[in-house]
Structure 1
Amino acid sequence: MEAAASAPPSTPPSIPAAAPAPKGLPVIAYLKRLPSGLPADPTPMASELPTEILRPTRDLVVYDAPGGRPRAILPKAVSGIGAAVPIVARESGWVAALMPSGNRTMGWLPPAGWITATTADQVVIHRKAHRLTWYRDGQERGSWKVSVGSKVSPTPLGRSFVFGRSKLPGEVYGGLDVLALGSVPDDPDSVPVGLRGAHIGIHSWYQNTFGGDTSDGCVQVPQPGQRLLLENLRPGAGVLVLP
């Protein structure tokens, strides 16, 4: 009896090579709009927010597709804050992550120069209901009536993430730090000159009046809620803004 022929070993799929970065490639920065040419997030309103976070171990070249054209540099740290961006897609060994300083935009990264972490925290904001809800492991941990952006400068829709935290001068923020998001105003000219370039933030407010469309795009949270969010949310945590 003849032995059955063994199946040939499968060939692992090839990983598209990463083209070298040309000189002068723009660097993603906090106070500058995201460089053009990167692809749109294909599912910006997805109800399941990403839980895997990419952390660069060096400055990374960002591409418009796996093996595609280099478009920008994602530095290891942006304005002194270690970059932490949610992974939203995988293809041919590459990963796509949401990019800071832009809205509903992702960039592709080759499989080197980064590590991953996970987050259990997500924030969902309903603009019309003026409601922010914090979830951990899918379970509601806190919910507050909030104010959102005005009709002139609405809070940008879609999924974003916590970029980092900062301390801003003045008592209007209730003496609490601001959680800066990866997103920015959809129309940069809709905000006062002094706020041009700033990111959308989640912050408290000196007046105990919430539930309106009154801000320049940020989300204003009662002080007890902001304290809890500051204690628990870390860079990379997902944020989803719904109509």
Structure 2
Amino acid sequence: MLFDRLTSRFGVGPLATAFGVPALVVLALLVNSALHHDRVARPAAPPPSSATAAPGTPTTAPPDDEPVPVAGPVPAGLPVIDYDPAPGGFPADPHPDDTTPLTEGLSPTRPIAAYDAPGGRPLALLAPTISGVELTVPVVTRRAGWTAVLLPSANRRIAWLPEGGWSTTVLRDQIVVERRPHRLTWYRHGEAVDSWPVALGMPGQLTPLGRTFVLGRTPPPQDVYGGVDIFALGAIPDDPDAVPTGLRGAHIGLHSWYDDSTLGRNVTNGCIRLTRSAQRKLLDEVPSGTPLVVVDELPAPPPTA
């Protein structure tokens, strides 16, 4: 289901209210829903990284003698990244399907410029909140004097931030969603805690692949969500024109449903549905900023001797 302008009990202000039955979450703060069916359990081994190059978690600090690209002046009138789709021009996530846990989050303490590269062009501002909800974005990697983070309100995009104007926090959790087996697994410190079957996006509105994160939470706007709060994610539909008109501008959501019979099927507008008990568990344990990665399927673990 998609969500659209909600009201948050998570942070300081409204987050959204949904209006229908499908499967994507909009955090512009008003959950919208079309009319389709939503759809959750076995622990798994820690997720093997699907990337062979740089890991997806910050590494050690760069050498002291590495030159620091200068942050260019910030022009007046830059757009602020909010619940609407982020401005274009930001670089692609170099490892969107890397399941290596991202263990550090970054929270702006004032509006800060987001660049397309270290020393590159400032394209937008990241504010401390989006729609009144405190923003925490996972850190992807670092270079001298610069930090790359997953971009909110965009799919598989990163932004580069210069030093200053933000604080960091430890991210202990990770959520991995596998599209082929229709499975969600929750990890803590790289170890599987629990796993549940899920319902995912239908053909033409598939749940977007790649790394994203929990943007915030909102109360359920309708009984179809089973009376359980909803997580709005940083991801948006890959093809916004494919979703029902009432869901345009929505974000992908992680939520429960009044009926578990569609679990294991592709029936949503892109959202991730799971059981009410599983959603309550995640709401109790998983904070804003927690990374979530959607892959087709994790590699099978090597056979034991």
TM-score (norm 2): 0.74
Contact 1:77 1:83 in 2 (8 A): yes
Q: Which residue of 2 aligns with 1:7?
A: none
Inter-CA distance 182–11: structure 2 relative to 1 (3 Å threshold): closer
User: Does residue 266 of structure 2 align to residue 213 of structure 1?
Assistant: yes
Q: Greater strand share, 1 or 2?
A: 1
Contact 2:101 2:190 in 1 (8 A): no
User: Does residue 75 of structure 2 align to residue 19 of structure 1?
Assistant: no
Deviant stretches of 4+, over 4 Å: none
Amino acid across the alignment from 1:128: R
User: Does residue 146 of structure 2 align to residue 94 of structure 1?
Assistant: yes
Structure with bigger gyration radius: 1
CA distance in 1 between counterparts of 2:107 and 2:221 reads 29
Unaligned runs of at least 5 residues, structure 1 = 1-9
Amino acid across the alignment from 1:234: P
Of 213, 238, 252, the residue aligned with 1:161 is 213
CA distance in 1 between counterparts of 2:145 and 2:71 reads 11
What is the root-mean-square deviation of aligned Cα atoms in Å? Answer: 1.2
Amino acid across the alignment from 1:152: G
Contact 1:49 1:239 in 2 (8 A): no
The share of aligned pairs that are identical, in percent, is 49
Q: Which residue of 1 aligns with 2:299?
A: none
Contact 2:173 2:286 in 1 (8 A): yes
Amino acid across the alignment from 2:169: A
CA distance in 1 between counterparts of 2:109 and 2:77 reads 21
Greater RCO (Cα-Cα under 8 Å, separation 6 or more)? 2
What is the Cα deviation at residue 191 of structure 1? Answer: 1.2
Q: Which residue of 1 aligns with 2:238?
A: 186
Q: Which residue of 2 aligns with 1:109?
A: 161
Of 269, 276, 285, the residue aligned with 1:232 is 285
Unaligned runs of at least 5 residues, structure 2 = 1-62, 297-305
Q: How many residues are aligned here? A: 233
Q: Secondary structure at the residue paired with 2:251? A: coil
TM-score (norm 1): 0.93
CA deviations on 1:138-158 (whole Å, 9 max, x unpaired) are 221111111000112000001
Amino acid across the alignment from 1:143: S
CA distance in 2 between counterparts of 1:153 and 1:231 reads 29
Contact 1:178 1:204 in 2 (8 A): yes
